[in-house]
Amino acid sequence: MSSAPSSQAKQPLSSPTADVSPRSQLVAVLIPAYAEATTVAEVVAVALEAAIGEVLVVDDGSPDGTAAVAEAAGASVVRLTTNRGKGGALEAGARRLRAEVVVLLDADLVGLTPAHVHALAGPVVDGDADMTRGVFSGGRLRTTLAQRIAPQLNGQRALRRLDLLAVPELGDSRYGVEVAITRHAIASGWRFLDVPLLGVSQVMKEEKRGLWAGLMVRAKMYLEILRTLLSGHRG
């Protein structure tokens, strides 16, 4: 049984600098994706342009061409044969990678730039934070408001890979994974920093899948988040 990460300040992984590109062996970008064939290539392209390390897409049993599109865009790809949910995809990706720090990005982002990727990675690499958490700002009103109401649900983060793997029930958390990470961060005394992601937003589920199908996916997401929240009050 692994112990929780120390709440004490951790040392920088290298000498502080504004540019994380020379530290590519330390950092990787991890993108969980399910049925994101229309958007994943753009996110992969930005992550590759940031040039901070390997870009890995975990295809979570998608019924479309997500894996092939991500691979064609230049990403490394892990294909899961069954859908494990976002938490399961992140666990699979973190176990596949060897970098010390992982930058987590959703596969349906709009307006992402290499500077955003660097802004997430830098404080963790430099030892100024144990986790960064992106907060949308100045993009689409609906997604920006959602971030202000519940920043703990944002999927854009950077943290140490082993800290991610130490999150209890990570692989079973599905859409509740951000809640699980945040709860573990607080319990473990992590220092975390909110990073404004100016101009970044997401394609809404109702836009990707149609109104009713999108609403069903959204309802499922909220149920899985609620299940994760409630699990923290048991025992």
Residue 174 domain-assigned (yes or no): yes
Residue 90 domain-assigned (yes or no): yes
Decide which of 10 and 108 is more confident. Answer: 108
Instruction: State how far the alpha carbon of 14 is from the alpha carbons of 18, 22, 95, 222, in Å.
Output: 12, 10, 23, 39
pTM over 0.85? The answer is no
Residue 31 domain-assigned (yes or no): yes
Structural domain total, the chain: 1
Residue 89: how many other CB atoms lie within 10 Å: 27
Residue 129 domain-assigned (yes or no): yes
* Residues spanned by the domain of 77: 21-203
Q: Report the CATH number at residue 86.
A: 3.90.550.10
Q: According to the model, what pLDDT value does residue 6 have?
A: 40
Mean pLDDT on 101-111: 96
Residue 68 domain-assigned (yes or no): yes
Residue 121 domain-assigned (yes or no): yes
pLDDT digits (tens, 9 = 90+) for 86-102: 999 999 999 999 999 99
Separation between Cα atoms, residue 76 and residue 55, nearest integer Å? 6
